[in-house]
Amino acid sequence: MNPQSTRILLTGTSHPKLSQSISEHLKQPLGRMEVRRFLDAEIFVEIQENVRGRDCFVIQPTCFPVNDSLMELLIILDTLKRSSAERITAVVPYFGYSRQDRKTAPRTPISAKLVADLLEKAGATRVLSVDLHAGQIQGFFNIPFDNLYAAPVMYESIRQSMKNFDDVVIVSPDAGGVERARLYADELGATVAMIDKRRTQANVAKAMNVIGDVVGRRAIILDDMIDTAGTLTEAATAVLGKGATEVSAVATHGVFSGTAFDRITQSSLKEVIVTDSIPQKEASLKCAKIKVQSIAPLLAEAIHRISTHGSISELFKKKSLRA
């Protein structure tokens, strides 16, 4: 059976450009749905075609404004559940609240777990995301969760930028990112280093030391997201101070809060590569150093494989991506 006969793609309002790109890669139009807001900002959803017994994919990164994006997603999921959809996959390229995955002090929430419970309760039967801030969030769910890696998409962009990798070092901004740095280094034929940092409060970090050899090398700082860019610019300064010849950065999610654009513009960073898991039109307009790589082919292939019961793990290899 043709998966398009039962599959339906739906998009929320947080990133319609990405949804349209996924639709074009799958050669399947987006389903008809109306999302509108009343004067008091309440969200109303109406799906304008039959979804009974169908395999539904809702594309909605929970990016800024995070709470509006999340609530809209929940309402769409609830609408599908009450309309007798057969399967409902929440495609959440950027998973908001993922940094609140554990108690960091007494009397604080684990908001990532709360979001997991809300998605399940609203009607999601599967979740598809990209480069979770904390992989253990998958364990918060009692439904299948596919956490894709953006690495296969980013490799080509890095190769075009760096040309050769004899003098390249992949730098993790903290101990938690070393495994990701090794993955990139192994694929690209580079070496690995790490920043030892101390965080005094949220969005404030002080780079303390560089572990590994960066002298005379071109450094790529690798992270899952860039928020205010404070950590990133501190790390770039530290790496250059230890003898690196230049510093670039690669991150899956370009959150770019507060003065992030100004920090990147004024920093010694040569280039910052992010994906379009979050809308990035403003980023490319405000900062010439930022380059955006699309993850639409990756998500389109994942959606195709889910709907045809194919292997998701093969997507960790770049050659599995279709043009």
**pLDDT in 10s for each residue of the chain, 323 residues:** 566 679 999 999 999 999 999 999 999 999 999 999 999 999 999 999 999 999 999 999 999 999 999 999 999 999 999 999 999 999 999 999 999 999 989 999 999 999 999 999 999 999 999 999 988 999 999 999 999 999 988 998 899 888 888 899 999 998 888 999 999 999 999 999 999 876 656 555 565 689 999 999 999 999 999 999 998 999 999 999 999 999 999 999 999 999 999 999 999 999 999 999 999 877 667 788 999 999 999 999 999 999 999 999 888 765 444 43
**Residue 196: what pLDDT?**
86
Q: How far apart, in Å, do the first and last CA atoms of the chain sit?
A: 23
Count of C-beta atoms within a 10 Å radius of residue 224? 19
Measured over all CA atoms, what is the biggest interatomic distance in the chain, rounded to whole angstroms?
Answer: 61
**Residue 164: what pLDDT?**
84
Q: Domain locations in the chain?
A: 3-149+296-320, 151-293
The answer to whether residue 318 is catalytic is no
Yes or no: say if 74 and 124 are a contact pair by the CB < 8 Å rule. Answer: no
Q: Is 317 exposed, middle or buried (0-12, 13-18, 19+ CB in 10 A)?
A: exposed
Spatial distance between the Cα atoms of 103 and 231, rounded to a whole number of angstroms: 22
Q: Say yes or no: domain 151-293 is CATH 1.10.10.10.
A: no
110 alpha-carbon distance from chain centroid? 20
Yes or no: say if 56 and 10 are a contact pair by the CB < 8 Å rule. Answer: yes
Yes or no: say if 198 and 208 are a contact pair by the CB < 8 Å rule. Answer: yes
Q: Is 96 exposed, middle or buried (0-12, 13-18, 19+ CB in 10 A)?
A: buried
Catalytic residue, chosen from 81, 113, 197, 289, is: 197
Classify residue 139 by its DSSP letter: G
State the Rg of the chain over Cα: 20
**Residue 26: what pLDDT?**
97
**Residue 287: what pLDDT?**
87
Cα within 13 Å of Cα(265), Cβ side? 11
**Residue 175: what pLDDT?**
84
**Residue 323: what pLDDT?**
37
Residues constituting the chain: 323
For tokens 């918060």, the residue is: 140
The pTM (predicted TM-score) of the whole model is 0.91
For tokens 């598809």, the residue is: 128
Class of the CATH-defined domain 3-149+296-320:
alpha beta
Yes or no: say if 39 and 83 are a contact pair by the CB < 8 Å rule. Answer: no
Coil vs helix vs strand at 277: coil
